[in-house]
Chains A and B, each alone.
Chain A
């Protein structure tokens, strides 16, 4: 296999859309674009086999169920799950983490502790804050270092014998720093706590192996990995999922309902009340197969090269602060920065004027912004279709911002 970002870009209709200017899409940490093959898979499902799943015996219902469960198997393979039954479809990462907070969290008691890191997206912060208010559990916070890495030297201080869960990102959506998961797992296991990883940023860049990671829960979204909106995944160890109460009540998650009471279905159905996102699951399957068709080893070389070029140029610029690690090792191609005298929203707006799509603001990571004493930052995040033209146009745009605000 060879890797050519430009040929990949040609598979994405958004880049052929008649926009008023060329698109340099560097907002992939928010949402990636969808290749034609994913769009086609969704269209094919909606056109030829649309029905509800697990409820009918007619041929369309059977086809829909088959498609849906095939998606579950594909996800299981991609993340190294031992069984598709460990894969729960959700509406996204946020929903997946709330599921854990409301089911695993239901079993926690007043005084139990949950550790979150300062690098978390609000989706892995707010559910735990809400649970703390509901149940009287105590939140503890693992700080970050100036270079964007988690301060693992503080693990011993925040992980105590009362810790029941460490909830951490696998990769920061701001700094791009990849978490040293083994250190978290070791600390958690030493006190019998579980580990939940937010893998929303990680999984678009290639398969993960939840077994090798040694974690207990893993959450991610489809829309950041070239799949449609409205679908995400919670993976959990089967033996653990079986001990958890239901998340939401409704159809599909029960074994029987009578006046005498209710018995619940086993996982994963226990956690999938109501009609699931079927077309989105079909799209997710197609997206995973698309990612698997790419030479990711070569893709990583290209993304490192792009990141290295960008970081080197940025490091030479006065008044530009990179919010994240130095160098390209143990990080994903997510580069956040601040410019003296220019607010991230203004930077983003001016970049948009030359066709560069980036994200400016707090990135749903306000505790991290607070830790770095910044109002927000501008983030350029790369996908598999980005090349040097994106880097160069971004740098040209930064020059333009300086021209306006100097």
Chain B
């Protein structure tokens, strides 16, 4: 059932605005669009020792995209560009092939119901791709 997608944890994450907005003087910023649906994610990032020290998000998109951005703001801390790239690929494989998520990213299993909805993979992946672009 499609409605299973909207589990309480995902809805709660989508409403978590604790890291929403813009940062003052970020070290890097990226805005990424999903041309198919018009979703847009803007990330501001501050760095420390090559890793993310602070991340804020501004999302024009669906609940899945907002939830993913909110989770990234907490789970992405201290992660490097390489780790984010690895996670982006791994999350795609998690959705498509049911492969395991890398160590340290298990909280993303909250998005397990998305596996059954191919058209929504990009909703969750967009914030991660924006972070990779910001750090590249």
B100 to chain A, nearest CB (A): 26
Residue in B2, B11, B38, B64 whose CB lies within 8 Å of A353: B2
| B63: chain A residues within 8 A (beta carbon) | 342-343, 346, 405
Which residue of A has the minimal Cβ distance to B38? A362
| A343: chain B residues within 8 A (beta carbon) | 61-63
| B11: chain A residues within 8 A (beta carbon) | 404-405
Q: Are B38 and A361 in contact (CB under 8 A)?
A: yes
The answer to the question of B9 belonging to the interface, with a C-beta cut-off of 8 Å to chain A, is no
| B61: chain A residues within 8 A (beta carbon) | 343, 345, 375
Q: Are B62 and A345 in contact (CB under 8 A)?
A: yes
B132 to chain A, nearest CB (A): 23
Residue in A346, A366, A405 whose CB lies within 8 Å of B38: A366
The answer to the question of A369 belonging to the interface, with a C-beta cut-off of 8 Å to chain B, is yes
- Number of B residues contacting the other chain (C-beta, 8 Å)? 17
Which residue of B has the minimal Cβ distance to A354? B3
Assembly CA distance A404 to B1 (angstroms): 14
The answer to the question of A400 belonging to the interface, with a C-beta cut-off of 8 Å to chain B, is yes
* Interface size class, chain A: 10 to 19
The answer to the question of A37 belonging to the interface, with a C-beta cut-off of 8 Å to chain B, is no
Assembly CA distance A350 to B5 (angstroms): 9
The answer to the question of A242 belonging to the interface, with a C-beta cut-off of 8 Å to chain B, is no
Assembly CA distance A143 to B120 (angstroms): 33
Q: Are A375 and B38 in contact (CB under 8 A)?
A: yes
Q: Are B38 and A369 in contact (CB under 8 A)?
A: yes
Residue in A349, A361, A366, A405 whose CB lies within 8 Å of B5: A349
Q: Are B60 and A375 in contact (CB under 8 A)?
A: yes
Assembly CA distance A343 to B6 (angstroms): 12
The answer to the question of A376 belonging to the interface, with a C-beta cut-off of 8 Å to chain B, is yes
Q: Are A353 and B60 in contact (CB under 8 A)?
A: no
The answer to the question of A62 belonging to the interface, with a C-beta cut-off of 8 Å to chain B, is no
Q: Which residues of A, 336-370, contact B by the 8 Å Cβ criterion?
A: 342-346, 349-350, 352-353, 361-362, 366, 369
With A361-B38, A362-B38, A405-B11 already in contact, the answer to whether A349 and B2 are too (CB < 8 A) is yes
B54 to chain A, nearest CB (A): 26
B72 to chain A, nearest CB (A): 18
Q: Are B1 and A353 in contact (CB under 8 A)?
A: yes
B114 to chain A, nearest CB (A): 11
Assembly CA distance A366 to B60 (angstroms): 13
Assembly CA distance A350 to B37 (angstroms): 16
Assembly CA distance A313 to B6 (angstroms): 25
Which residue of B has the minimal Cβ distance to A366? B38
| A400: chain B residues within 8 A (beta carbon) | 3
Which residue of A has the minimal Cβ distance to B6? A404
Assembly CA distance A80 to B123 (angstroms): 46
Which residue of A has the minimal Cβ distance to B8? A404
Residue in B1, B2, B37 whose CB lies within 8 Å of A361: B37
| A353: chain B residues within 8 A (beta carbon) | 1-3
| B117: chain A residues within 8 A (beta carbon) | 349
Q: Are B62 and A350 in contact (CB under 8 A)?
A: no
Residue in B2, B37, B60 whose CB lies within 8 Å of A352: B2
Q: Are B123 and A345 in contact (CB under 8 A)?
A: yes
A394 to chain B, nearest CB (A): 15
B1, B37, B62: most-surrounded residue (chain A CB, <10 A): B62
Map CB proximity to A onto B1-28 as digits: 1 under 8 Å, 0 otherwise. Answer: 1110110000100000000000000000
Which residue of B has the minimal Cβ distance to A352? B2
B58 to chain A, nearest CB (A): 12
| B123: chain A residues within 8 A (beta carbon) | 345
Assembly CA distance A50 to B18 (angstroms): 63
| A350: chain B residues within 8 A (beta carbon) | 2-3, 6
Q: Which residues of B, 87-134, contact A by the 8 Å Cβ criterion?
A: 117, 120, 123
Which residue of B has the minimal Cβ distance to A21? B1
A182 to chain B, nearest CB (A): 34
Which residue of A has the minimal Cβ distance to B61? A343
Assembly CA distance A349 to B3 (angstroms): 7
| A349: chain B residues within 8 A (beta carbon) | 2, 5-6, 117, 120
Q: Which residues of B, 60-91, contact A by the 8 Å Cβ criterion?
A: 60-64
Which residue of B has the minimal Cβ distance to A369? B38
Instruction: Show 15 A/B contacts (Cβ-Cβ < 8 Å), sorted by A.
Output: A343-B62, A345-B37, A345-B61, A349-B5, A349-B6, A349-B117, A350-B3, A350-B6, A353-B1, A353-B2, A361-B37, A361-B38, A366-B38, A375-B38, A376-B38
The list of the 6 closest CB pairs from A to B, nearest first, reads A353-B2, A343-B62, A353-B3, A345-B62, A362-B38, A346-B63
